[in-house]
Structure 1
Amino acid sequence: MSQVNSKLERQVESILLKHKLKVSERTLKRFLNFLESIIDELTPELIEIFVLDNLTIGESYFFRDRKVFDFLKKVMQYKVEWNILSVGCSRGEEVYSLSIIARESGRNCKITGIDISPQRIEEARRGCYKFWSVRFLSEDELERFFIKNDDKFCIKSDYKANVTFVSGNFLTVPFSESFDIIFARRVLLYAENEELVVRKIYSLLKNDGVLVLGSGEYFPTVLKDFEPINECPCVYKKVSRKSSKFSDEKHVKDKRPKTSFISTQEVKYLKEAIAKNLENELALEPTIRIVEHCLENKILSEAENYLAILVRKYPTHYLVWKYLGVLELEKGNYEAAEKHLKKAAFLNHSDDEIWQLLHFIKGRK
């Protein structure tokens, strides 16, 4: 390692320690190489901004894992007033998605989003997004929830009225109220001490509160004090510490990560769109959504057919190899699954779900 890179590494590690964050060795190495290429332009303040923007949760989109939001719409029918916290809210897509379903359900919701990056919080407050963030919404939804401003989709003011954004570290920011629902999707993946995060989430949730994790996330620490809800396994209900059957590590169930969800209506729409295309015109994104649906519903032969086409058209795209790995996991072929997932990790080593799946396979060997 060069002297410059060594100095940068110490600076970056100091920032990670300051904010109680962790990253993989590979991610850190790649990030340091990027910083070294622009070393002449860097100041300590800029380095910290780069760390928070590039080594923490960033990518999101509206109604990510839509089945989770569909489930919460049902849950919201049980009372009128809701207090919700979104941890690691990034640029606000998750927060505004919650605001939309609350308003559509006729419920009063106070929603707070917190993120460690001041830049992302500023973007969240503006509430204007490029097409990538709204890419899974229908034309009707885009018209109902957004105002088009040049190439941006800006959330309508009605959905901002009940929303607050806070910049800071979840572990150190004090909260003076408790919450009915806490979203913490992909948060524990970056936490230096996941137990501290889970402990604070537990303390902030009301007794009948629920925790929402990301699709495919599995943390035994969570299962000590939370119980997954069968109808929507990403959602966990808080259980009493005295009565919790998860208080002992040996009772924690080994659950394999699940793929994400899409609605039946979206499946029908995507299949119709795909059917109009020839094989050499097959679009990656809608086809991947169909593959996710097939895997979730154990329609393995159909998933295999789509993936066979995708691997010929997109042989260097990590998502293709990732879902080939998930397919082999569903079939119980751990060796083949590991081979595919290692290719996916090589093509995109920053996808934490790939590493979780590889860790799961390692534990089964």
Structure 2
Amino acid sequence: MKISIVITVYNYERYVGLAIDSALNQTRPADEIVVVDDGSIDGSRRIIAGYGDRIRAIFQANQGNIAAFEVGYRAATGDVLLFLDADDILMPTAVENVAAHCREGVSKVQFNLDIIDGAGRRLGRSFCAFPKSYAPEDVHAEFTRSGTYIWPVMSGNAYFREFLRQVIPLNPPVGYDGALNTIAPLYGDVVTVQETLGQYRLHGRNISRNDAKGRAQRFPDFPRQIGFRIAEFDILKAHCDRKSMHVQAARPIDNEIVFVNYRLASRKLGLRYVGQDADTSSSLLRRGIRLALTTTHWRAAASHIVWFTGLFLSPSWLAYQLIMLRFNRAELLRPLARFGSVIRRKPA
């Protein structure tokens, strides 16, 4: 089984070397590493070129992340393709673990990612914190019932070529990971590795924090992200029709706690979004609490319930402050952490 790592890059000179190093330093070496530079104008190209023939480098004019993904897909020759974002990192055993779970009938292997900040500091959270038991049959049952399941961002997935061959080009609304993950259970088993095999970096330039003009924001553009997710579920419907398969949920977005949160946050901030006429703040509160109780472990459920209740009860000015704190808590709380470390080091 041949495994390729594909890294797409645009103006990430600060991080791209770390990503490439992590791809090279695997206990089970990848069969090839393809790096697609999408017209970077910083020092990324120089860094990539410095790796010589240890990687296959492709330099192109800027075409956007969707085109860069497709170029990497066409260039790679592996049976399994692991797409690593240039600001993320693979643990040394990532390829080894993926290889151990490769078999016929699988559409993708997914795994946990530690969340780190721009400087590489761990933030004490993971993406996705899967349930202890999340076998392919569990994923299939959840997907059939709800139209969705638990999945990580791009760097936490290894896609099988047979799956990709059947669906690309996909014309996703923003990036390939959301659309591919949404439809993956239609095309084979989704295998979940419980180990943490990578690191997902949160920093000021994450695409999910950009507005429609590409400007970085302090928290996600909720209406825009909701629109993207609805478009991905439209892709799901089209592929369900293609495969003559059916999911029970009429509105799968109602079963994703993240987007219930985004919809309630939008209402509290006075932002319009697709489908808002079918929502009320109280219905979103009830839905958020139900999802917290039925889809998360007790500690996460308690946290979600406190959050939804506090957001629901807050006036708009306070809701804004709560949302700012939630999406920037590592940055805002760092001075307190530094103060605490100074106090701990201070001699008695």
Say whether the fold is shared (TM-score over 0.5): no
Considering Cα pairs closer than 8 Å and 6+ residues apart, tell me whether 1 or 2 has the greater RCO.
2
TM-score between the two structures when normalised by the length of structure 2: 0.29
TM-score between the two structures when normalised by the length of structure 1: 0.28
